[in-house]
Amino acid sequence: SRAQVAPAARAPIPRPASTPALQISSIKSDNVTRACSFIQEAATQGAKIVSLPECFNSPYGTKYFPEYAEKSTQKISKVAKECSIYLIGGSIPEEDAGKLYNTCAYRKIHLFDIDVPGKITFQESKTLSPGDSFSTFDTPYCRVGLGICYDMQFAELAQIYAQRDCQLLVYPGAFNLTTGPAHWEVLQRSQAVDNQVYVATASPARDDKTSYVAWGHSTMVNPCGEVLAKGGTEEAIVYSDIDLKKLAEIRQQIPIFRQKRSDLYAMEMKKP
Protein backbone atom coordinates (compact mmCIF):
# COMPACT_ATOMS: atom_id res chain seq x y z
CA SER A 1 0.00 0.00 0.00
CA ARG A 2 1.06 3.60 -0.53
CA ALA A 3 1.24 6.12 2.30
CA GLN A 4 0.81 9.84 1.67
CA VAL A 5 3.40 12.36 2.77
CA ALA A 6 2.12 15.09 5.05
CA PRO A 7 3.11 18.46 3.54
CA ALA A 8 5.88 20.68 4.77
CA ALA A 9 5.07 24.32 5.38
CA ARG A 10 5.93 25.23 1.78
CA ALA A 11 4.34 22.19 0.12
CA PRO A 12 0.79 22.89 -1.08
CA ILE A 13 -0.32 19.24 -1.34
CA PRO A 14 0.67 15.91 0.22
CA ARG A 15 3.33 13.88 -1.61
CA PRO A 16 4.86 10.45 -0.95
CA ALA A 17 8.55 9.59 -0.84
CA SER A 18 9.75 6.31 -2.28
CA THR A 19 12.76 3.98 -2.32
CA PRO A 20 12.74 1.40 -5.13
CA ALA A 21 14.57 -1.90 -4.61
CA LEU A 22 16.06 -3.08 -7.90
CA GLN A 23 17.30 -6.44 -9.13
CA ILE A 24 20.85 -5.72 -10.33
CA SER A 25 22.20 -7.69 -13.31
CA SER A 26 25.60 -7.90 -15.00
CA ILE A 27 24.35 -5.81 -17.94
CA LYS A 28 24.85 -2.13 -17.15
CA SER A 29 22.40 -0.81 -19.76
CA ASP A 30 19.64 -3.07 -18.42
CA ASN A 31 20.25 -1.82 -14.88
CA VAL A 32 19.97 1.81 -15.95
CA THR A 33 16.85 1.15 -18.04
CA ARG A 34 15.25 -0.73 -15.14
CA ALA A 35 16.07 2.09 -12.73
CA CYS A 36 14.48 4.63 -15.07
CA SER A 37 11.29 2.56 -15.33
CA PHE A 38 11.01 2.35 -11.54
CA ILE A 39 11.57 6.11 -11.24
CA GLN A 40 8.78 6.72 -13.74
CA GLU A 41 6.46 4.32 -11.91
CA ALA A 42 7.11 6.01 -8.57
CA ALA A 43 6.48 9.43 -10.11
CA THR A 44 3.24 8.17 -11.66
CA GLN A 45 2.13 7.15 -8.16
CA GLY A 46 2.77 10.69 -6.94
CA ALA A 47 6.26 10.35 -5.44
CA LYS A 48 8.24 13.59 -5.29
CA ILE A 49 11.42 12.36 -3.54
CA VAL A 50 12.82 9.10 -4.91
CA SER A 51 16.00 7.23 -3.97
CA LEU A 52 17.69 4.42 -5.91
CA PRO A 53 19.87 1.77 -4.21
CA GLU A 54 23.63 1.72 -3.81
CA CYS A 55 25.51 0.70 -7.00
CA PHE A 56 22.28 0.46 -8.99
CA ASN A 57 24.16 0.21 -12.30
CA SER A 58 26.67 -2.44 -11.21
CA PRO A 59 27.01 -5.71 -9.33
CA TYR A 60 28.48 -4.88 -5.92
CA GLY A 61 32.09 -6.03 -5.75
CA THR A 62 35.57 -4.56 -6.03
CA LYS A 63 36.26 -6.50 -9.24
CA TYR A 64 33.25 -4.86 -10.91
CA PHE A 65 33.86 -1.22 -9.98
CA PRO A 66 36.51 -0.39 -12.63
CA GLU A 67 34.48 -1.97 -15.44
CA TYR A 68 31.16 -0.35 -14.52
CA ALA A 69 32.51 3.09 -13.57
CA GLU A 70 30.84 6.16 -15.09
CA LYS A 71 31.73 9.84 -15.31
CA SER A 72 28.15 11.13 -15.10
CA THR A 73 24.52 10.16 -14.52
CA GLN A 74 22.95 11.98 -17.45
CA LYS A 75 20.25 9.40 -18.21
CA ILE A 76 18.68 9.30 -14.75
CA SER A 77 19.07 13.09 -14.47
CA LYS A 78 17.03 13.39 -17.65
CA VAL A 79 14.31 11.09 -16.28
CA ALA A 80 14.17 13.05 -12.99
CA LYS A 81 13.67 16.26 -14.95
CA GLU A 82 10.99 14.71 -17.15
CA CYS A 83 9.14 13.37 -14.09
CA SER A 84 9.56 16.62 -12.09
CA ILE A 85 10.89 14.81 -9.03
CA TYR A 86 13.84 15.06 -6.66
CA LEU A 87 15.95 11.98 -7.37
CA ILE A 88 18.67 10.60 -5.11
CA GLY A 89 20.47 8.53 -7.72
CA GLY A 90 21.49 5.71 -5.42
CA SER A 91 25.19 5.43 -6.13
CA ILE A 92 27.46 4.39 -8.98
CA PRO A 93 31.14 3.58 -9.28
CA GLU A 94 32.50 6.93 -10.48
CA GLU A 95 35.78 7.47 -12.31
CA ASP A 96 37.47 10.83 -11.93
CA ALA A 97 41.12 11.63 -12.74
CA GLY A 98 42.14 8.00 -12.48
CA LYS A 99 40.45 7.39 -9.12
CA LEU A 100 37.26 5.47 -8.39
CA TYR A 101 34.60 6.60 -5.91
CA ASN A 102 31.28 5.23 -4.67
CA THR A 103 29.23 8.25 -5.65
CA CYS A 104 25.74 9.66 -5.31
CA ALA A 105 25.60 13.48 -5.39
CA TYR A 106 28.12 12.76 -2.69
CA ARG A 107 31.16 10.50 -2.50
CA LYS A 108 31.03 7.78 0.14
CA ILE A 109 33.20 8.92 3.07
CA HIS A 110 33.67 5.66 4.95
CA LEU A 111 34.88 2.75 2.83
CA PHE A 112 33.53 -0.69 3.65
CA ASP A 113 36.60 -2.62 4.82
CA ILE A 114 35.56 -5.42 7.20
CA ASP A 115 36.66 -8.91 8.17
CA VAL A 116 34.20 -11.14 10.04
CA PRO A 117 35.89 -14.56 10.25
CA GLY A 118 33.86 -17.34 8.70
CA LYS A 119 31.23 -14.94 7.36
CA ILE A 120 32.43 -12.05 5.20
CA THR A 121 35.58 -10.21 4.19
CA PHE A 122 35.28 -7.16 1.98
CA GLN A 123 37.64 -4.29 1.18
CA GLU A 124 36.28 -1.39 -0.84
CA SER A 125 39.58 0.43 -0.46
CA LYS A 126 41.16 -2.06 -2.89
CA THR A 127 39.62 -0.07 -5.72
CA LEU A 128 37.75 2.94 -4.27
CA SER A 129 38.91 6.23 -2.77
CA PRO A 130 36.99 7.94 0.07
CA GLY A 131 35.09 11.18 -0.37
CA ASP A 132 35.81 14.14 1.90
CA SER A 133 32.69 16.31 1.94
CA PHE A 134 29.07 16.34 3.10
CA SER A 135 25.98 16.71 0.92
CA THR A 136 22.66 18.31 1.80
CA PHE A 137 19.96 19.75 -0.42
CA ASP A 138 16.63 21.50 0.01
CA THR A 139 13.30 20.48 -1.48
CA PRO A 140 9.89 22.11 -0.99
CA TYR A 141 9.13 19.21 1.37
CA CYS A 142 12.20 18.91 3.61
CA ARG A 143 15.97 19.30 3.79
CA VAL A 144 17.83 16.09 2.95
CA GLY A 145 21.24 14.80 4.06
CA LEU A 146 23.00 12.04 2.12
CA GLY A 147 25.17 9.11 3.12
CA ILE A 148 25.97 5.81 1.42
CA CYS A 149 25.65 2.40 3.09
CA TYR A 150 28.57 1.99 5.56
CA ASP A 151 28.40 5.74 6.32
CA MET A 152 25.36 4.86 8.41
CA GLN A 153 27.65 3.13 10.94
CA PHE A 154 29.21 6.47 11.91
CA ALA A 155 27.04 8.54 14.24
CA GLU A 156 28.99 11.75 13.64
CA LEU A 157 27.76 12.07 10.06
CA ALA A 158 24.10 11.98 11.09
CA GLN A 159 24.81 14.43 13.92
CA ILE A 160 26.36 16.92 11.50
CA TYR A 161 23.37 16.65 9.19
CA ALA A 162 21.00 17.19 12.11
CA GLN A 163 22.99 20.28 13.12
CA ARG A 164 22.55 21.51 9.54
CA ASP A 165 18.78 21.22 10.03
CA CYS A 166 18.21 18.15 7.86
CA GLN A 167 14.83 16.53 8.44
CA LEU A 168 15.40 13.45 6.27
CA LEU A 169 18.57 11.34 6.00
CA VAL A 170 18.79 9.05 2.98
CA TYR A 171 21.22 6.14 2.69
CA PRO A 172 21.37 4.13 -0.53
CA GLY A 173 22.94 0.96 0.84
CA ALA A 174 23.75 -2.67 0.19
CA PHE A 175 24.20 -4.32 3.57
CA ASN A 176 24.83 -8.07 3.34
CA LEU A 177 23.52 -11.23 5.02
CA THR A 178 25.93 -10.72 7.95
CA THR A 179 25.65 -6.99 8.67
CA GLY A 180 22.06 -6.70 7.42
CA PRO A 181 20.22 -8.68 10.10
CA ALA A 182 22.54 -7.34 12.81
CA HIS A 183 22.70 -3.64 11.97
CA TRP A 184 20.45 -2.49 9.11
CA GLU A 185 17.26 -1.64 11.00
CA VAL A 186 18.76 -0.86 14.40
CA LEU A 187 21.11 1.76 12.92
CA GLN A 188 18.25 3.48 11.12
CA ARG A 189 16.08 3.54 14.23
CA SER A 190 18.86 4.77 16.48
CA GLN A 191 19.85 7.55 14.07
CA ALA A 192 16.23 8.63 13.77
CA VAL A 193 15.74 8.83 17.54
CA ASP A 194 19.17 10.28 18.40
CA ASN A 195 18.89 13.06 15.80
CA GLN A 196 15.11 13.49 15.58
CA VAL A 197 14.98 12.95 11.82
CA TYR A 198 13.36 10.67 9.30
CA VAL A 199 15.72 8.01 7.94
CA ALA A 200 15.25 6.25 4.60
CA THR A 201 17.34 3.46 3.10
CA ALA A 202 17.26 2.05 -0.42
CA SER A 203 18.75 -1.40 -0.97
CA PRO A 204 19.13 -3.53 -4.09
CA ALA A 205 16.82 -6.52 -4.24
CA ARG A 206 18.41 -9.76 -3.08
CA ASP A 207 20.00 -12.13 -5.58
CA ASP A 208 21.32 -15.30 -3.93
CA LYS A 209 23.31 -16.23 -7.03
CA THR A 210 25.72 -13.27 -6.86
CA SER A 211 29.07 -13.20 -5.07
CA TYR A 212 27.82 -10.41 -2.78
CA VAL A 213 24.26 -10.96 -1.59
CA ALA A 214 22.40 -7.82 -0.52
CA TRP A 215 20.18 -7.86 2.56
CA GLY A 216 17.35 -5.91 0.90
CA HIS A 217 14.57 -4.49 3.12
CA SER A 218 14.47 -0.84 2.00
CA THR A 219 13.02 1.02 4.98
CA MET A 220 11.59 4.32 6.21
CA VAL A 221 11.79 5.21 9.92
CA ASN A 222 10.22 8.21 11.69
CA PRO A 223 11.84 10.44 14.38
CA CYS A 224 10.33 8.26 17.13
CA GLY A 225 12.24 5.27 15.79
CA GLU A 226 9.10 3.62 14.41
CA VAL A 227 9.36 1.70 11.14
CA LEU A 228 6.79 3.30 8.84
CA ALA A 229 7.40 1.16 5.77
CA LYS A 230 9.69 -1.74 4.95
CA GLY A 231 10.25 -3.75 1.81
CA GLY A 232 11.21 -7.37 1.55
CA THR A 233 14.01 -8.98 -0.42
CA GLU A 234 12.32 -8.75 -3.82
CA GLU A 235 11.95 -5.83 -6.23
CA ALA A 236 9.46 -3.29 -4.95
CA ILE A 237 8.86 0.42 -4.41
CA VAL A 238 8.48 1.41 -0.76
CA TYR A 239 6.37 4.53 -0.12
CA SER A 240 6.09 6.39 3.17
CA ASP A 241 5.30 9.64 5.01
CA ILE A 242 7.35 12.72 5.84
CA ASP A 243 5.32 14.69 8.38
CA LEU A 244 7.19 17.85 9.36
CA LYS A 245 4.46 18.91 11.78
CA LYS A 246 5.04 15.72 13.77
CA LEU A 247 8.78 16.26 13.55
CA ALA A 248 8.48 19.80 14.93
CA GLU A 249 6.31 18.54 17.82
CA ILE A 250 8.88 15.89 18.75
CA ARG A 251 11.72 18.41 18.72
CA GLN A 252 9.70 20.81 20.87
CA GLN A 253 8.65 18.16 23.38
CA ILE A 254 12.13 16.63 23.74
CA PRO A 255 14.54 19.50 22.94
CA ILE A 256 17.78 17.53 22.70
CA PHE A 257 19.45 20.05 20.41
CA ARG A 258 19.15 22.79 23.03
CA GLN A 259 20.23 20.45 25.80
CA LYS A 260 23.40 19.03 24.25
CA ARG A 261 26.55 19.77 26.27
CA SER A 262 28.75 20.58 23.31
CA ASP A 263 31.10 22.47 25.62
CA LEU A 264 31.92 19.25 27.49
CA TYR A 265 32.11 17.11 24.37
CA ALA A 266 34.58 19.50 22.74
CA MET A 267 36.79 19.56 25.83
CA GLU A 268 36.79 15.76 26.08
CA MET A 269 37.72 15.38 22.42
CA LYS A 270 40.77 17.58 22.94
CA LYS A 271 42.22 15.33 25.65
CA PRO A 272 45.22 13.22 24.59
CATH code reported for the domain at 15-258: 3.60.110.10
Instruction: Write the pLDDT tens digit of every residue in 153-186.
Output: 999 999 999 999 999 999 999 999 999 999 999 9
Residue 17 has pLDDT above 50, yes or no: yes
Residue boundaries of the structural domains of the chain: 15-258
What is the per-residue pLDDT for 11?
30
How does residue 76 score in pLDDT terms, banded at 50, 70 and 90? Answer: very high
- The whole-number pLDDT of residue 8 equals 28
Residue 95's SS3 state is strand
The pLDDT > 90 percentage for the chain reads 86
Q: What is the pLDDT of residues 184-226, one digit of tens each?
A: 999 999 999 999 999 999 999 999 999 999 999 999 999 999 9
User: For the residues 109-114, what does the mean pLDDT come to?
Assistant: 98
- What are the backbone angles phi and psi of residue 137, rounded to the nearest 5°? -150, 155
Burial of 62 (0-12, 13-18, 19+ CB in 10 A): middle
223/266 Cα distance (integer angstroms) = 26
Per 3-state DSSP, what percentage of the chain is helix, strand, and coil (rounded to 5)?
30, 25, 45
Higher pLDDT, 155 or 266: 155
**3-state DSSP assignment of residue 241:** coil
Contact 23, 34 (CB under 8 A): yes
Which burial class, exposed, middle or buried, applies to 234 when counting CB atoms under 10 A from its CB (0-12, 13-18, 19+)? exposed
Give the model's pLDDT for residue 66: 96
Mean local confidence (pLDDT), 119-131: 97
Three-class DSSP category at 231: coil
End-to-end C-alpha distance for the chain, whole angstroms = 53
- Give the residue, 253 or 271, on which the prediction is more confident: 253
Confidence category of residue 266, pLDDT binned at 50, 70, 90: confident
pLDDT at 271: 72
The catalytic site residues sit at 54, 108, 149
pLDDT of 7 > 80? The answer is no
Whole-number average pLDDT of the chain: 91
